Structure 1
Amino acid sequence: MTIIDKYIIKKYLGTFSFMLILLSIVVLVIDVQQKIPRIENAKLIDPKLDLSYFLVHFYPFWIVNLVMTFLSILVFISVIYFTSRMANNTEIVAVISSGASFHRFAKPYLLTSVLIAGISLVVNHFVLPWANIKKNELEAYTYNARNKEKVLGTAPASAQLSRTEYIFVNSWNKAEQRGSGFIFQKFDKDRKMTYELKASDVYWDKDKKQFVLNNYLEKTINKDNSAKLGNGGELRKSYGHSPEELFPNELLGQNKTTPELIKFINREKEKGNSNLNTHLNELYQRTSMPISIIILTFLALSLSSQKKRGGLGINLAVGISLAFVFVFSFEALKVVSENKSMSPALAMWFPNIVFFPLAAYLYLKRANQ
């Protein structure tokens, strides 16, 4: 590794680290200021949920999630910034004039982007889910009233245990993990009901990992259509999964490492659940976003390695515009995928599919100049 390589890598990592710290501080201050009224409301529910508690138990993990979401964009803007300064100072001209090819000049960019992408892959697949567990325990308290009710409030819930077994709860409180109007139904291959269990109330026993049914009534339907009835005050049932697994919300996939998420998705497919695009988006994005770091590094290098009229300002303007398009396309394609208008794999890889040819074209064009 030459002195020039070390110089560029130092510039790359130094600028990236500065941008990372600056973004984290600015966004943290803005978000805290915005959410203080909601945090104060959370304190009315639980006195320990004050601002200091959130600063220790929520925001460090929230920052990890934020950084990993915008990591590729931070890399993109960082590369444009320090490469534009090198171009304006004629440092790149000096390197090329010394006999080094543009491909050789780009080598430290490749090495550094691969390093960051590799770390990002490990974090996305194994570390970020742990941070999300901590974050998601408190995140609902930072939502507005309507969205908080979706996560912590009471609503109807249902689950498909297999292709022939179903659970319905008329009113289920996700925070307290209890509800009313419980129904379990089992059908045969001809879609004829063979068993039904009803209960007026149900709650989840965390210690014994069982559902406790109160005032239950069960009915077994025989082949001759006769029915056997039974009832009682309390009945304990284990359906193989916790309420979080049976009645998942959109945050569940974020909390699982990739092996756990794949296992969960496969299990839901076996049960016949076809509403999995949110979790599939999470799965594919964990790989596509780190790969975009390499693509955007070379796109940024190609855009900013020549001295231009307007200098650093015009390069940053172009870079921020492209960054906005990149982020917006990911978020828009998530919605498209969740509406089942596009497969999750294609939706999460589509920005890379579009930006890769663009980066390759501009890079080769710059290298041949």
Structure 2
Amino acid sequence: MSIIDKYIIRKFLGTLAFMLALISIIVLVIDIQSKMPRIEASHLKIGNFLIHFYPYWLIYLVMTFMSILVFITVIFFTSKMANNTEIVAIVSGGVSFHRFARPYLIAALLLASSILVVNHFILPWANVKKNKLIIYTYSTTKQRKFTDRRQISTQISPKEFVFMNSYDPEAKSGDTYLFQRFDKNRKLIYQISAEQAAWDQKKKSFLLTNFYEKSINKDNTEKLSKGEVKYQKLGGDPEEIFPNELLGENKTTPELIRFIRHEKEKGNANVAAYQNELYARTAMPFSIIILTFLALSLSSQKKRGGLGINLAIGISLAFVFVFSFEVLKLVSTSQTLPPLLAMWLPNIVFAPVAFVLYWKRANQ
């Protein structure tokens, strides 16, 4: 690795680290001020959030917007190099533009591979910590989606169904419980109802209180029984049996793949949100490479207006990228586009643009 390579990589990573620290502090202060009334309204202490929420929330935020931060970083320090005629001096010394771009590729690959590992295995761990408290930062209406009692009607396998008249997601218990199992001909073969069902963490089962049980034999005879308590396993924790929109974030990629497969097997067609999470974990790191070369192509020439015009262009393109990504998530969730295509579409669109601009710049 030459002196130029080390110099550019050091500027790349050093500027990125500075921007990460600066933006994290600014965003943290603004976010605490905006969310403090909701946290206090939930009778929780802000100090608890500073220790048990915000460190993990910052990891999530940085990983989500890392490609955009890299994009702006490259524009910032490359524009400064161009304005100081450093790039002209390097190219005039006989170094081709392709050779000049090599340290950018090395740094981008290093960042992309690191973030790929973080997204698939480390970020879910941080999300588990974050999501324990994040609902208390939501508006009252949105918070109720996660805390209020609700009616349950769900299919847990192709032949098994669970119903509860009123389920408390925080207490993991519900009233008027009903479980039904059918055979391949859609004939009821087993049913159990109970006044209450409460999750027992140690036994990984629901404790049914005052239950009535019915089994139907092949000759249509019925076996009836009742009792005060009975444990029943449903093949998973309540979070998986009755999933919310945050569950996908909490699972490592192998766990998420198994969960999506299980949801499809039990007949749940509404898995697009979880597939978006899965595919975005790879698509976002890959976008770092694309946006690095797009930023290099846009900022490696000295322009009238200097750093300001380059940053304006960069921030505008970053906004387009983020906005398109969020819109495509909504489009995919409504099943208008396949999740895989939706999560990779920004890369598919920006990659040819980056290639054309880079090739044009390299051959000037």
Map of 1:178 onto structure 2: 173
- SS of the residue 2:210 aligns to: strand
Partner SS state of residue 133, structure 2: helix
1:128 aligns with 2:145: no
Once the two structures are superposed, residues 226-265 of structure 1 have per-residue CA deviations (whole angstroms, 9 ceiling, x without a partner) of 4332222211111221101100111111111111111111
Q: Does 1:291 align with 2:303?
A: no
Q: CA deviation at 1:180?
A: 0.8
Residues of 2 paired with 1:311 and 1:209: CA distance? 63
The structure 1 residue matched to 2:132, chosen from 137, 143, 160, is 137
Give the match's secondary structure for 1:328: helix
User: Are 1:343 and 2:343 an aligned pair?
Assistant: no
Q: Which residue of 1 aligns with 2:112?
A: 117
1:99 is displaced (CA, Å) by: 0.6
Distance in 1 between the 2:154 and 2:241 partners?
A: 6
Partner amino acid for 1:38? R
Show CA shifts across 1:22-78 (max 9, x none): 1111110011001111111222xxxxx311110000000000000000000000000
Residue 24 of structure 1 aligns to a residue whose secondary structure is: helix
SS in 2 for 1:309: coil
Aligned match for 1:311, one of 306, 328, 331: 306
Aligned residue for 1:28? 28
Query: Which consecutive unaligned segments of at least 5 residues does structure 1 have?
Result: 44-48
Q: CA separation in 2, counterparts of 1:324 and 1:252?
A: 27
Letter in 2 for 1:163: P
Cα offsets for 1:282-324 (capped at 9, x unmatched): 1100000000000000000000011111111111111001000
Letter in 1 for 2:290: I
Q: State the Cα distance separating 1:104 from its structure 2 match.
A: 0.3
Q: Render the CA deviation track for 1:135-183: whole Å, top value 9, x for unaligned.
A: 0111111111111111122112233222111111121111111111211
Partner of 2:37: 37
Matched, 1:106 2:101: yes
Amino acid of the residue matched to residue 33 of structure 2?
A: Q
Moved more, 297-306 or 273-282: 273-282
Tell whether 2:327 aligns with 1:332: yes
Q: Is the 8 A contact 1:158 1:247 kept in 2?
A: no
Q: Provide the rounded CA distance (Å) in 2 between the counterparts of 1:189 and 1:203.
A: 30
Are 2:150 and 1:150 aligned? no
CA distance in 1, matches of 2:165, 2:338: 32
Alpha-carbon distance in structure 2 between the residues aligned to 1:221 and 1:271? 23
Q: Report how far residue 200 of structure 1 moved.
A: 1.6
For residue 94 of structure 1, the aligned residue among 89, 93, 98 is 89
Residue in structure 1 matched with residue 186 of structure 2 by the alignment: 191
Determine whether 1:12 maps to 2:2: no
Larger mean Cα displacement after TM superposition, 288-297 or 214-223:
214-223
Q: Which amino acid letter does the alignment assign opposite residue 32 of structure 2? A: V
In 1, distance between residues paired with 2:164 and 2:98? Answer: 62
CA distance in 1, matches of 2:80, 2:211: 73
CA distance in 1, matches of 2:152, 2:139: 22
Q: Which secondary structure does the structure 2 equivalent of 1:249 belong to?
A: coil
Alignment partners' CA distance in 2, 1:365 and 1:169 = 63
The residue type paired with residue 269 of structure 1 is K
- Identical-residue share of aligned pairs (%): 62
| Whole-Å separation in 1 of the counterparts to 2:134 and 2:124 | 14
1:203 lines up with 2:195 in the alignment: no
Q: SS of the residue aligned with 1:122?
A: helix
**1:214 matched to which residue of 2?**
209
**CA RMSD between the two structures:** 1.1
Cα distance between partner residues in 2 of 1:157 and 1:294? 45
TM-score normalised by L of structure 2: 0.98
Partner of 2:230: 235
Choose the corresponding residue for 1:365, options 354, 360, 364: 360
SS in 1 for 2:275: helix
1:76–1:300 Cα contact (<8 Å) kept: yes
User: Structure 1: how far apart are the matches of 2:170 and 2:96?
Assistant: 61
Aligned-partner Cα distance in 2 for 1:167–1:242: 14
The equivalent position to 1:323 in structure 2, one of 315, 318, 322, is: 318
- Unaligned segments of structure 2, at least 5 residues: none
SS at match of 2:95: coil
The worse-fitting range, judged by mean Cα deviation, of 305-314 and 106-115 is 305-314
| Shift in Å, 1:7 | 1.2
Aligned residues: 364
Alignment-derived partner of residue 46 in structure 1: none
Report how far residue 126 of structure 1 moved.
Answer: 0.6
SS across alignment from 2:132 = helix
Provide the rounded CA distance (Å) in 2 between the counterparts of 1:158 and 1:5: 60
